């Protein structure tokens, strides 16, 4: 494996990792905000690095850095959820969250990728919604106003904060459930037309595949899975999910943003029948296609990177 410690980006990331790992607390503060802002600025520009080729030392640094980023993100969301909760109408003040504009862009892109395959889902699940469920809120407000949203998180305190944002009496189309998604019964998962999987659900490959396998076993045929990933240097911030990791699903699109939105997005469809699987059942599945044709690209002309997986790649 390569160990490009001479690479300027890797040197900067390692330097920031050393500083971040020595912080007494990851809660929002002047020092914490400055270090993570710098880390995001370093990792956001396109870079050809392939993190899977890093040497073991750098792999350990990357894994721990992602863990630290996840903790800091959770604490930041908790902090701002509490601030927003002090307002009479919290949803009118979402712009106070520093990355709100990023969520607007990401939700718009995810809806554009989803719409050709499931334009009007009735029931949506978001796994790993946290104390500040901006994706569900933005999708419900701007893109899927008639859909029922079930938000899953393992932390009851996070769900309590999140529920407080949508109103004292709750929201008729939004529900918060405290559960590990792998413990949710298959008959419940089968109710959802679309399932969103947050980037930090499944912090390593094995855990992510375990979650995906449970979703593949429970979701109904034709249901859509939307998974967040990362590419290039952004993979120092979030775990990478490859299309081949989504056993049981037919990958439809892979979206790589080139702006300040960090996460890549994979859109996949639950297979209704199997012909072949590869990589011991963990690879992409080839299924018979009865209706071949060109897949619509909803992001043409928007300076994004989208990989489409047309039906001719299937066994027909």
Q: What is the tens place of the pLDDT at every residue in 205-228?
A: 889 999 999 999 999 999 999 999
Q: pLDDT at residue 243 above 60?
A: yes
Torsion of CA 1, 264, 203, 5, to 10 degrees: 30
Q: Provide the whole-model pTM.
A: 0.86
* Dihedral pair phi/psi, residue 24, rounded to 5°: -70, -30
Decide: helix, strand or coil at residue 44.
Answer: coil
- Tell whether domain 1-273 is in CATH 3.40.50.150: yes
Cα 121 to Cα 39, 103, 224, 266, distances in angstroms: 37, 20, 9, 18
Element (H, E) at 104: helix 100-114
Distance CA 238, CA 231 (A): 9
How many degrees, rounded to 5, is the angle at CA 91 between CA 159 and CA 84? 65
Q: What average pLDDT does the segment 138-167 reach?
A: 96
Residue-wise pLDDT for 105-137, tens only, equals: 999 999 999 999 999 999 999 999 999 999 999
Q: Please state, in angstroms and rounded to a whole number, the distance separating the CA atoms of residues 75 and 26.
A: 7
What is the model's pLDDT at position 313?
36
Could you say which DSSP state residue 294 is in?
P
DSSP 296: P
Give the confidence band of 292 by pLDDT, cuts at 50, 70, 90: very low
Dist. CA 284–CA 245, nearest whole Å: 7
pLDDT at 290: 34
Q: CB under 8 Å to 158, separation ≥6 — which residues?
A: 74, 78, 129, 130, 131
288 φ, ψ to 5°?
A: -65, 140
Q: Which residues pair with 124 in a beta bridge?
A: 149, 194
By 3-state DSSP, what share of the chain in percent is helix, strand and coil, each rounded to 5? 45, 15, 40
DSSP-derived 3-state class of residue 236: helix
Query: The tokens of 73 are what?
Result: 């993100």
Phi, psi of 279 (to 5 degrees): 55, 45
> Does residue 303 carry a pLDDT above 70?
no
> Average pLDDT for residues 50-79, to the nearest whole number?
97
CB contact set of 247 (below 8 Å; sequence gap of 6+):
209, 212, 213, 216, 277, 279, 281, 282, 283, 284, 285
How far is residue 34's CA from residue 17's CA, in Å, rounded to a whole number? 13
Q: Measured between alpha carbons, how far apart are the two ends of the chain, in Å?
A: 38
Q: Is the confidence at residue 16, as pLDDT, over 70?
A: yes
């Amino acid at each position: 494996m390569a160990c490009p410690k001479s690479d300027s980006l890797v040197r900067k990331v390692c330097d920031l990792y050393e500083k971040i790992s020595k912080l007494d607390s990851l809660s929002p503060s002047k020092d914490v905000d400055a270090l993570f802002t710098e880390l995001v600025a370093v990792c956001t520009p396109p870079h050809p690095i392939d993190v899977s080729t890093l040497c073991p030392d750098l792999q350990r640094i990357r894994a721990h850095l992602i863990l630290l980023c996840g903790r800091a993100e959770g604490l930041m969301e908790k902090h701002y959820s509490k601030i927003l909760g002090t307002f009479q109408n919290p949803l009118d003040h979402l712009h106070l969250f520093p990355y709100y504009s990023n969520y607007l862009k990401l939700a718009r892109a995810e809806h554009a990728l989803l719409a050709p395959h499931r334009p009007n889902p009735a029931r949506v699940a978001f796994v790993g919604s946290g104390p500040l469920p901006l994706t569900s809120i933005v999708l419900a407000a701007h893109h899927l106003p008639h859909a029922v949203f079930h938000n899953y998180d393992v932390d009851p305190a996070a769900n309590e904060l999140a529920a407080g944002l949508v109103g004292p009496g709750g929201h008729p189309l939004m529900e918060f459930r405290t559960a590990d998604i792998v413990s949710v019964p298959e008959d419940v998962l089968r109710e959802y037309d679309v399932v969103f999987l947050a980037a930090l659900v499944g912090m390593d490959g094995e855990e992510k595949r375990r979650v995906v396998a449970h979703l593949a076993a429970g979701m109904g045929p034709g249901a859509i899975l939307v998974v967040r990933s990362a590419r290039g240097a952004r993979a120092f911030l979030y775990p990478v999910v490859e299309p081949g990791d989504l056993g049981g699903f037919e990958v439809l699109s892979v979206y790589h943003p080139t702006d300040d939105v960090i996460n890549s997005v994979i859109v996949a469809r639950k297979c209704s029948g199997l012909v072949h699987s590869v990589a011991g059942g963990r690879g992409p599945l080839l299924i018979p296609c009865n209706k071949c044709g060109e897949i619509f690209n909803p992001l043409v002309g928007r300076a994004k990177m989208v990989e489409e997986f047309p039906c001719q790649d299937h066994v027909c």
